[in-house]
Amino acid sequence: MNIGILGLGTVGGGVVNVLNKNQSEIARRSGASIQVTHAAVRDINQDRICPTDDLQLTQDPFEIVNNTNIDIVLELMGGTGLAKELVETAIKNGKHVITANKALIATHGNELLALAKDNNVHLLFEAAVAGGIPILKSLEQGLSANKIEMLAGIINGTGNFILTEMRDKGRDFADVLKEAQALGYAEADPTFDVEGIDAAHKLAILASIAFGCELQFDKVSTEGISKIEGEDVTFATELGYSIKHLGIAKQIDGKMQMRVHPTLIPKTRLLANVDGVMNAVLVKGNAVGPTLYYGAGAGDEATASAVIADLVDIIKGTVSDDILGWQSFETMPHQTVDEIESIFYLRLLATDKPGVLADITTVFAKHNISVEAVIQKQIDAQNNAHIAIITNQVKTGEINAAVNEIQKNDFIQETVKIIHVETLD
């Protein structure tokens, strides 16, 4: 099998290295000799993390997708413009395509998968979701006997690193973000990571495999971690929780919900103890119950592991013709944000005077909200206090309406913080 790579950076170089390092083992499992023969790069003279003596390098990526001697194309360059055009061209030329490009699959996957089916080739993307964790294969194959009820994942290592440092070392968000950028975990523009867009891309892919629906990135409710403050981390710890940035997908009463947001998780849950840049996905099936998949969510060889696993599947002919299960899918409506039920954590900065808690609970009662836990701490000589509250399970629309009403009181000193709480039962 002759392989052409689009992009020979971190992941592309990792693929070459892993193929070289584990050549005999991969050949044993695939039954074929796999050889990377060509690679498209931006600059031929740039130093690489992999050997290139046996590769024909080009700065024209169309030489790869139009080369009749190449059987499979690995799209590892990123982006959704040129990458989409190249993938389309490769598919139309009858080539299988493997990609690690979550943005491309989340936003254009439906049409690209349909095009691949029309041209009798495969488009695979295990590496697009959680690096080296084989979560898509687990959903599609290992859990195929189950109706998936829920999945919840830490699927962005940058955000997880930041929240871990804030919890363990008492650092603030901006300080840890600078370190994440210096370490190469976060880009110079970290928006995709810290505002949840990267996780939302991945969640859309996970949900499509888990629930047999079309990719629906535009239906993911998305919130980042940039507004998480040290007080929230401290209160969460005292209340028995850890804050994680989760992607969550569920089916509730025949409706889908997909959401990415900061979440308080009980410290006793395994997912709450996934720290640093590691990823993990919790999947609950109606037969097997909860299962947890943990590992490196990024990195050259970890991501290469997932790319090569797709490669082996294509060579062995073990790929489904309908990877998303669309043929048996019945269109489900989506829950609106206001319909989503959750437990909530609220943090209020309020003037500490008699009647404040009574006024707050009166508003809660109007919206059928009860209080499960509360902590109050005096913070300054001006008689201001932080009040942290854990509510019962309530619709998001009700909690927002209650907070908007509370916010109008003159004893509230700043915007009320609202964070979801998930018990993951």
* Reported pTM: 0.94
Contact 163, 228 (CB under 8 A): yes
R_g over Cα of the chain: 24
Task: Identify the CA nearest to 121 among candidates 160, 161, 159, 71.
Answer: 71
Question: b/e per residue, 193-216, with b = 16+ CB within 10 A?
Answer: bbbbbbbbbbbbbbbbbbbbbbbe
Asked if 193 and 156 touch (Cβ cutoff 8 Å), the reply is: yes
Q: Show the tokens assigned to 9.
A: 């950076």
Neighbours of 139 (CB within 10 A): 24
Catalytic residues: 202
Q: Which two tokens stand for residue 33?
A: 């000799």
Instruction: Go through the chain and tell me how many residues it has.
Output: 425
CA 396 to chain centre: 22
Asked if 246 and 102 touch (Cβ cutoff 8 Å), the reply is: no
For residue 24, the tally of other CB atoms under 10 A from its CB is 8
CB 352 within 8 A of CB 396: no
pLDDT digit string (tens) for the chain, length 425 residues:
899 999 999 999 999 999 999 999 999 999 888 889 999 999 999 999 999 999 999 999 999 999 999 999 999 999 999 999 999 999 999 999 999 999 999 999 999 999 999 999 999 999 999 999 999 999 999 999 999 999 999 999 999 999 999 999 999 999 999 999 999 899 899 999 999 999 999 999 999 999 988 899 999 999 999 999 999 999 999 999 999 999 999 988 888 999 999 999 999 999 999 999 999 999 999 999 999 999 999 889 999 999 999 999 999 988 876 666 654 455 668 899 999 999 999 999 999 888 999 999 999 999 999 999 999 998 877 788 999 999 999 999 999 999 999 999 999 999 999 999 999 98
**223 contacts 260 by C-beta, under 8 angstroms:** yes
Domains of the chain with bracketed CATH: 2-130 (3.40.50.720), 135-296 (3.30.360.10), 340-421 (3.30.70.260)
Closest by Cα among 141, 82, 80 to 309 = 141
**Residue 26: C-alpha distances to residues 138, 316, 409 (Å):** 20, 11, 66
